[in-house]
A and B are shown apart, each in its own frame.
Chain A
Amino acid sequence: MAKVLLKGNEAVVRAAIEAGCKYFFGYPITPQNEIPEYFSKELPKIGGAFVQGESEVASINMLYGAAAAGARAMTSSSSPGIALMQEGIGYISKAEVPAVIVNMMRGGPGLGGIQPSQADYNMCVKGGSNGDYRTVVLAPGNVQELVDMVQEAFDIADQYRILCIVLADGLIGQMMEPVELRKPKERPIPAKDWALTGRNGGKTHRVYNLKLQAPDLEKDNFDLFKKYAVIEENETRYEDYMMEDAEFAFASYGTASRVVRTAVDRLREEGYKVGLVRPQTLWPFPYEAFNRPQIKKYMDIELNMGQMVDDVVLGCGDKEKVEFFGHTGGVLITVDEVCDFAKKIMGGAK
């Protein structure tokens, strides 16, 4: 299929529809408004439905309903809106209905700003809702990967009956890149015999969220975590760049990782043995990718105050080996800044 030049937000819609998503529920928030706008135009054409929810709270609960009804459905928002959705995220996780959320992150906390940020790492990766649960978190680094991951998110969600968050930032949403819509790899996707479809002559379907007896709830949670272990085994993903002979490594994802990639090129030209490890899944997190004895320092670069640092430390097992540089509040990092920071860490070690 020929490439098309698409804005990230529009690409999300194309990819979702390609993946069979027919229902979208969402509430306006910058910088992701092209997503609901485009869906509102496209979904009626294919016999689906677009509903502008009265709030993010309503939107996520509409998604809960549509997903429980067996459909491929999604919502999208940006940071403060995702904060409001945390209630529904917990319910969807407990009920194990497969659903997809796209978060085009902006600066926080609170109302924050509208510029690109990665400040929702903790909220989305560690869980901002109550209880023991996990959501798969995919972190695209460019618009093509955004498209691939949105499509795959629906498959992963269905395969494991789990909520899948595509965690991008406002820049990926707003920028344009050539994109090709291609089929994701085949996955074993079970039939949704649990879905609310009416009895239709068969058994009654019930989607629960409450377990009043503690031992019953504990058993459910144990079962959830058995499933999570399988996902950790199967779905952990990262990309190495210039890591073969590297003595120092950047740790970075999403838009920040692109700036870092250019910094790696520049530092390599100057003779530094430096590479980049880019997590593509933030949960499950690629801990083993940061467990390389030959690496002297990991340099974590993010558009926040260092929310991934703990995970990199867990990966390499030595907090003395991890350094952080970033900007917050929607300020973007520059290649110069990353190079200057890295040189301070690496010293004269070329």
Chain B
Amino acid sequence: MISLSHEQKQNIGFTYVMDQLEPASSYGREALRNLRPAASGEEVELELDNINKTLIGLTEQVKIYTRIEQLFRSVKNIRGSISRCGGEALGEVDLFEIKRFLLQLCEIAPLFSKINTKAHYHGIAISELNGALELLDPEGNRVATFYISGRYSPALTAIRNEKLQVEQQIRTLSVGEENKALLNQRSELAAREQAEEDAIRFRLSRELRPYAEAMIRNADAIGRLDLTLQKAKLAVRYGACHPIISENGMRFVEMTNPQLAYQLMERGNNFTPLTMELRQGATVITGANMGGKSVALKTVALNVQLVHYCFYVFAQEATCEFFDSMHIISEDLEAADRGLSSFGGEIVRLQEVLQEMDKGFAFVLMDEFARGTNPEEGAAIARGVVAYLNSRNCVALLSTHYEGVAELAGTHYQVIGLERMNPDVLEEEIANIPTKNRVARIAQYMDYGLVLVNENQKPPRDALNICRLLGLDDEIMYLIKNG
């Protein structure tokens, strides 16, 4: 399964991104609700190409696109009415909705054709259904209201004329007994009118049946174009890029995550864009204790997930492989609801993931695997997992603060953290800040960027620095340093 769980989608910011989309039509909203990952890399490429065509269209034919979006706003979901065609007699409201939809197609289709002569969208076609419209508009006045016209049947016209005469007589009478007979006569005529209307509705329902499939196709196409349009607008808003689907490694340049960026912004901080390459086998991220690693993992997860849902990605440049499955193992997501300790939960989850991985090419993310157990064994487990993943048909990205893990990975990234800061300057800087506010201030000095680490480099040692900056008791600091 490439699709993540609901909690994971929320956690990595996928849900946040989806919530930014506001399809104009009810079919677009339906398409968004039913959004599924693509089945193949080719499908992703076709859909990304549709987004690209839309982006070009939004600059070259913006007025037409805007008009189409406006028209989409009044498109209502009438799948229920369409599905009833050919069955029982359609109700007047069904017929009204279908007629309105057909009239909307008459407005949308010519505009679509204008954009499509340039764009040549894959799998999207919107066309007028004049035959169906003529059935529902026998007078041809193209008004978006519906009534069972006398044109459908001379018998209906005759009944209505007769009824009208009775109604006119009723109008001239005052209240009293004498109009009982007229009222009964009217009721009888109204019943005949209704029977005749029922027969016409039944006929219309059968005659519309052959158009039902085309109506559904148009409804789907509206949903798809609408969603594509929203994806394109999202890409513009965030400066997202068209990812290249490759079979040979992944590369993300200046990658961001809108949800995390928003959260940071609210606290007055900026998101540091991340650049990284991933190859088959395991890649490890190490870094200081105060965040950065999880942010990197979530950002990669979000963008890889977006590629599989055929979205542009939040990066300057992106090359991504197409995976058969995607897995995240993270202690805070392996909820205690399974009744296991966090460590137990991780191991059970790992076993599940390993079985899933056999089914194809997998993308695996692990946030501080085995952090909940003792450091010696934890590090050994993490090393074992990295070595194992190196040999499997997968791309894996792991974060860890254990030593001796990164060396086993194909690639090693490090969160820069406080490394480029002069600790003395920083210490002076925060000396006057109350202890409880220092965490936030240190976070501001953290460099969350990633650097590629070569084999001989030492893993970062920021933990003691942070203890000192946070004003940890001198006596404890002394004991820590001197064992």
Decide whether A and B are members of one complex.
no
Which residues of B does A touch, CB under 8 Å?
A: none
